[in-house]
Amino acid sequence: MKRICIILGILMLTGCTAPQYGDIQGDMPESYIQGEEQLYLDKPDSTALNYSYQVGRWFPYMHFADYMQGCTEEEFRRNIRERFRSAAAEGVNTVYLHVHPCGDAYYQSDIFPPGTYLDGDYDPLAIMIEEAHDTGLSAHAWINPLRCQTTGQMMAMPESFILRQWAEDSSCGCIKTVGDRWYLDPSYPEARELICRCTAEIIEKYHPDGIHIDDYFYPTTDTEFDHAEFESSGSSDLSAWRTENCTAMVKELYDTVHSYDEGIIFGISPQGNINADYSKQYADVRLWSGIPGYCDYIVPQIYFGFLNETCPFEPTLRQWEALTESSTVQLVIGLAEYKQGQEDIWAGTAGENEWLDDPTVLEREIQLVRDSTANGYALYGNS
């Protein structure tokens, strides 16, 4: 394994339990005991539950309407328990829980307003972490650092929230609009500090096993987004300057996470097209993947079929393997479970109908990942 860790043994074979989380061995699916998926802790005194071979599943906020909105606490608990048990039965051992998607909170926050689908008097993150651990799942809190509310949502927010105050202060550049949505500007230390406060609040109140961010970095390539800030920065290269701002944010997030517990891990899920990471979102994935101190695991969203004309799956997988081959950063491959049986309009003529015509695409991709140097894979589907 690339990661230096303390191996506690395979749960089914040793009968051991995760620290403080009760017995998680009873319903472990066989895929957990293939010789790779071992429990590890970065430090012996850490209570974080994580696996050396990660099989992840995203739980995006867009689906919360199906099993959170309009639910009582008990109904929500039952709904999420069923989904977690279904995921575990499929071999999943790690869940990414979307708790801060748009400048809001699907948890009890003193900084951000409640999320749109949270209309019950209960704490969904506390329930999700409890149910995840009861099922033997590692629970990572998933946040979008820069994306905030729409204009309508922002103006409906109470003025006591910092985002509303920044939005109404014409002299404050920390938050800006792109189209009808607001985004934090990572060039401002105050904006990055707010993101770190968000992370710290989640860790202090809930102690998740990981913090996870995805590919919402700079929302636009338009030079007007931060023209004044760039002009006053003294930099001569806008792309390099924006990239440095993203890296500063990532570094501060990593340091925040590890200031609480070295066993809590920090992961980044950038888009799978490496060139676009740099040209569209100013995400320095080569640095973050290759040098310790920026993230513990990276989950490129290789949501491509084998026939994709821009980024065919296997060559793209090899590119990401090369980025992490000499690194301690774990490589977990994001896979597009949601594309099964669907037309892929972005794949070019050759790949447009691949997911429709070939029901084995995802299965073959998982096998390629298992045969690669990657430390796991994660599924984005209908969770």
Residues 266, 257: contact at Cβ < 8 Å?
yes
DSSP state of 377: E
240 to 56, 175, 236, 243, 247: CA distances (angstroms): 32, 21, 9, 5, 10
| Closest-CA residue to 267 (of 54, 41, 59) | 54
Which residue has tokens 């079929």? 305
Give the span between the Cα atoms of 28 and 291, in whole angstroms.
34
Going along the chain from its start, the domains and CATH numbers come out as 54-379 (3.20.20.80)
Q: What are phi and psi of 96, to 5 degrees?
A: -100, 115
Alpha carbons 10 and 14: distance in angstroms, whole number: 6
Q: CA–CA separation, 281 vs 76, rounded Å?
A: 35
pLDDT tens figures, 17-52: 333 333 333 333 333 333 345 555 445 567 899 999
Nearest CA among 148, 213, 209, 141 for reference residue 179: 148
Determine the Cα–Cα distance for residues 337 and 269; give it in Å rounded to an integer: 16
Distance separating alpha carbons of residues 169 and 284, to the nearest angstrom: 31
Q: Once rounded to an integer, what is the mean pLDDT over residues 53-69?
A: 97
The pair of structure tokens assigned to 267 is 């992961």
Chain segment 282-323, per-residue pLDDT in tens:
999 999 999 999 999 999 999 999 999 999 999 999 999 999
3-class DSSP state for residue 331? strand
Only one residue has tokens 């760039």, namely 230
User: Which comes out higher in pLDDT, residue 238 or 23?
Assistant: 238
Q: How many Cβ atoms from other residues are within 10 Å of residue 328's Cβ? A: 14
How much is the mean pLDDT over the chain? Answer: 90
Q: Are 312 and 354 in contact (CB under 8 A)?
A: no
What's the token pair of residue 111?
């900084």
Alpha carbons 372 and 273: distance in angstroms, whole number: 18
Q: One-letter amino acid identity for 124? A: P
Coil, strand or helix: which one is 142? strand
Question: What CA–CA distance (Å, rounded) separates 266 from 183?
Answer: 22
Q: How many CA atoms lie within 13 A of 169 on its CB side?
A: 12
Name the nearest CA neighbour of 24 among 59, 58, 49, 55: 49
The model carries a pTM of 0.90
Q: Return d(Cα 149, Cα 157) in angstroms, integer.
A: 9
Work out the pLDDT band at 382, boundaries 50, 70, 90. Answer: confident
Q: What is the largest CA-CA distance in the chain?
A: 61
- How far is it, in rounded angstroms, from Cα 375 to Cα 3? 9
pLDDT tops 90 at residue 355: yes
Secondary structure in 3-state letters for 19-67: CCCCCCCCCCCHHHHCCCCCEEECCCCCCCCEECCEEEEEECHHHHHHH
Q: Taking residues 364-372, what's their average pLDDT?
A: 98
Residue-wise pLDDT for 110-159, tens only, equals: 999 999 999 999 999 999 999 999 999 999 999 999 999 999 999 999 99
Determine which helix (DSSP H) or strand (DSSP E) holds 150, and give its type and residue range.
strand 147-150
- Could you tell me the two tokens for 192? 């990055």
Q: Which of 40-44, 214-218, 250-254 is predicted with the least confidence, judged by mean pLDDT?
A: 40-44
